A and B are shown apart, each in its own frame.
Chain A
Amino acid sequence: MEKLEFEFPAKRTISQRARAGVVGSNDLEVLLEPLEGDHALVTVLTSVDGFRDQWSAVLERFFSTYDGATRIHINDAGATPGIVLLRLRQAVEVSET
């Protein structure tokens, strides 16, 4: 069990919170909430230790196209990078509809 924290710059506020996924094998849960200010805070709670670099790379890629000021919490049960990106984009889609 490892808890990781990341921060990214953001340009715009968002109005709606959103949730996606499930804490099941090879999957994860994303909670996305509006945050005051010009940055995004990400916390990851993962059952698989030792993957900080991979998390950082995946989140960097996500925030290269997303600029919402958000607090994102991830409960991870061993999702692959592809699933992580998919769930993040799903949460964004829910928050923007």
Chain B
Amino acid sequence: MSNFQGVDFVRRRSFIELDARARAKALLDEGSDRELLGPFERIESPWLAQQGVTPQSDDGCVVMKGMIDGAAAVVVALEGAFQGGSMGEVSGTKMVAALDLAAKDCESGKQMSAILLLETGGVRLQEANLGLAVVAEIFASVLRLRRHSPVITVIAGTVGCFGGMSLTAAASSYVVMTPEARLGLNGPEVIEQESGLEEFEASDRALVWAIHGGTQRYAMGLADVLVDDDVAQVSRTVRDCVGKGPRTEHRSEQVALYRERIAKLDASQQINPVSLRTAWAEATGGREQ
């Protein structure tokens, strides 16, 4: 799927290789970025140290306000390298607060888009119910904001977006993925553990990416744009999505469409990633909705 050839591939600037802070910064107009509740505020998880896990000074969640093509925006970036980007009480509350402040701005007549850079396995198990509760709050906050301004989820990889946070991705106005990224409710290891190796072999990378990977998710219409791992392309795509404004009909509102698609699937045959794409395209006339 890559548009890159030879020397372009070498010259590009990888988005995946950036950490959460650098990713957020890369999407905002130069010099406009301002981090809220940054690492020196030391708002850390109070629960991790009690369980022998070292906390991080920003709890793995970077909130940055700034401009995108001159329009106000807030970027919330999760650090996949810290606890798998999992949502704890603090990291999740930072995301909720950012989304709610954006919604407040919109409701008082100011424009404020939100860009979520999701690299996360979902709820942080060490924080249990607090993690679950905050994921529910994030979902509610996305639903509130998306009526006024676009909520753009970017899943660049390589952690991907799983668990409860995949619902947040699904509720977003636009989803942008790279072929290296993955999106799914249950992660491959979880499926393998719960249903066995015969059901899903998590170590089979080709199989995992064929099902959860960005290329397949785009082909199925679960992601809106497929981009290469390139800062310029990701940034341009986010700008385009901000420019489009809020969506009139969100993917998560298309209940009839998805019911129809599922009803037409023939479960008597083994469905594979390619046959699923074909079946969905036949059922509803292609990926464009």
Q: Flag if B40 contacts A23 (CB, 8 Å).
A: no
Given A22-B82, A33-B40, 19 further pairs, Cβ under 8 A: A1-B49, A1-B53, A19-B39, A19-B57, A22-B79, A23-B55, A23-B82, A27-B81, A29-B39, A29-B56, A31-B42, A31-B57, A45-B49, A45-B54, A46-B54, A47-B54, A75-B56, A76-B54, A77-B54
Task: List the A residue with the shortest CB-CB distance to B51.
Answer: A1
Rounded to whole angstroms, the CA-CA distance of A37 and B19 in the bound complex is 34
B56 and A23: CB pair below 8 A?
Answer: yes
Asked if A81 lies at the interface with its beta carbon under 8 angstroms from chain B, I say: no
Q: Looking at A1, A17, A75, which has the most chain B CB atoms within 10 Å of its CB?
A: A75
Contacts of A73 in B (CB 8 A): 57
Output the least CB separation between A16 and chain B (Å).
12
User: Which B residues are in CB contact (< 8 Å) with A46?
Assistant: 54
Cβ contact within 8 Å between A47 and B52: yes
Please name the residue on chain B nearest to A22 by beta carbon.
B81
Complex-state Cα separation, A29 to B160, whole angstroms: 23
Q: CA of A31 to CA of B38 in the docked complex: distance in angstroms?
A: 11
Task: Given A17-B40, A33-B40, decide whether A24 and B82 contact each other with a Cβ distance below 8 A.
Answer: yes
CB contacts (< 8 Å) of A1 on chain B: these are: 49, 52-54
Scan B41-64; emit 1 where CB is below 8 A from any A CB, else 0: 010000001001111110000000
Considering the chains assembled together, what is the distance between the CA atoms of A22 and B18 in angstroms?
12
A-B contact pairs, 24 of them (CB 8 A): A1-B49, A1-B52, A1-B53, A1-B54, A17-B40, A22-B79, A23-B54, A23-B55, A23-B82, A23-B83, A24-B81, A24-B82, A27-B81, A29-B56, A29-B57, A31-B40, A31-B42, A45-B49, A47-B53, A47-B54, A73-B57, A75-B55, A75-B56, A76-B54
In chain A, positions 4-55 with a C-beta closer than 8 Å to chain B are 17, 19, 22-24, 27, 29, 31, 33, 45-47
Q: How large is the interface on A (under 10, 10 to 19, 20 to 34, 35 or more residues)?
A: 10 to 19
Top 5 A-B pairs ranked by shortest CB distance?
A: A24-B81, A23-B56, A22-B81, A47-B54, A1-B52
A43 to chain B, nearest CB (A): 11
Contacts of A19 in B (CB 8 A): 39-40, 57
How far apart sit A17 and B42, CA to CA, in the bound complex (Å)? 14
| A93-B83 Cα distance, complex, nearest whole Å | 27
Contact with A along B208-220 (1 / 0, CB 8 A): 0000000000000
User: Quick one: which of B19, B42, B81 has the most chain A CB within 10 A?
Assistant: B81
Q: Given the complex, which residues of A lie within 8 Å of B79, measured CB to CB?
A: 22
Measured CB to CB, the closest approach of chain A to B238, in angstroms, equals: 23
Task: Assess the B81–A75 pair: CB atoms within 8 A.
Answer: no
Q: Which residues of A contact B19 (CB under 8 A)?
A: 22
In this complex, the member of A24, A45, A46 whose beta carbon has the largest number of chain B beta carbons within 10 angstroms is: A24
Q: Which residue of A lies closest to B82 (CB)?
A: A23
Q: Which of A22, A33, A47, A76 has the most CB of B within 10 A?
A: A22
